């Protein structure tokens, strides 16, 4: 396998499957099966999930809600998603730990870097919930931050498109896909991969990002094996 330790970033919306909101158990089971493939190969796996299928702080703020309050609600949504994924992974026979940036001792461990690394070394899948624990920071930023802290080799951003394009492929049939692109080119072309804070943090720490289609069976394994699947962003 090309990568020993990875940070998998999933969007909350991905967990909806064909639903309009919430969590689709079928999609959870599909993701658990994909993750099990690389887990059985010995890849150490950390995961960050968004909460957009349940609540978005930005959306709440746009409707008059206090932004800080909304962001904390969004953090709790990521914990719900983390618990759901944890259950699906354990049903598939994997050991997991859920760590949260907010203290919720009844359901999760508090995030402690050394403990997280030890879990990874024991081949437990570590799910990081509640973002960074701070408002105004996205789960993209949390994913990059945790990836750096626990010394991951790469950020794997699982999406519903198969990479980075020069325009939205869902709106433009002539959009051109990049197999490889540099951080500087992403910025100069104004491509939207992650929010600026997350992207800059990844660039400064030379942590590559691979954007790929998580919904295509076998793609996660191919990425970890080093196949050209999706788009690689690096120096």
Binding residues for ATP: 9-12, 52, 56, 159, 165, 168
Annotated binding site for UMP: 51, 71, 132-139
How far apart CA 150 and CA 120 sit, in angstroms, is 9
Q: What are phi and psi of 118, to 5 degrees?
A: -65, -40
- Distance CA(71)–CA(58), nearest Å, equals 7
Question: How many CB atoms are located within 10 Å of the residue 127 CB?
Answer: 26
Residue numbers belonging to the annotated binding site: 9-12, 51-52, 56, 71, 132-139, 159, 165, 168
Distance between CA atoms of residues 235 and 232, nearest Å: 10
Distance, in Å, from the CA atom of 231 to the CA atom of 42, rounded to the nearest integer, reads 24
Give every CB contact of residue 58 below 8 A, 6+ residues apart in sequence.
67, 70
């Amino acid at each position: 396998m090309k990568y020993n330790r990875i940070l998998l970033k999933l969007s909350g919306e991905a967990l909806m499957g064909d639903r309009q909101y919430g969590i689709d158990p079928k999609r959870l089971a599909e993701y658990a099966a994909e993750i099990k493939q690389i887990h059985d190969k010995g890849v150490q796996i950390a995961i960050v999930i968004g909460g957009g299928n349940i609540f978005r702080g930005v959306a709440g703020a746009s409707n008059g809600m206090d932004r800080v309050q909304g962001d904390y609600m969004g953090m709790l949504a990521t914990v719900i998603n983390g618990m759901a994924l944890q259950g699906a992974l354990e049903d598939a026979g994997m050991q997991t730990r859920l760590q949260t940036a907010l203290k919720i001792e009844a359901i999760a461990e508090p995030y402690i870097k050394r403990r997280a690394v030890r879990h990874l070394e024991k081949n437990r899948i570590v799910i990081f919930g509640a973002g960074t624990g701070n408002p105004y920071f996205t789960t993209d930023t949390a994913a990059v931050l945790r990836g750096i802290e626990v010394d991951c080799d790469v950020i794997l951003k699982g999406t519903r498109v198969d990479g980075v394009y020069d325009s939205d492929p869902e709106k433009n049939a002539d959009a051109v896909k990049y197999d490889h692109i540099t951080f500087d080119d992403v910025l100069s072309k104004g491509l939207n991969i992650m929010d600026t804070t997350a992207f800059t943090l990844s660039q400064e720490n030379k942590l590559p990002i691979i954007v790929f289609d998580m919904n295509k069976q076998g793609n996660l394994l191919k990425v970890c094996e080093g196949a050209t699947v999706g788009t690689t962003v690096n120096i």
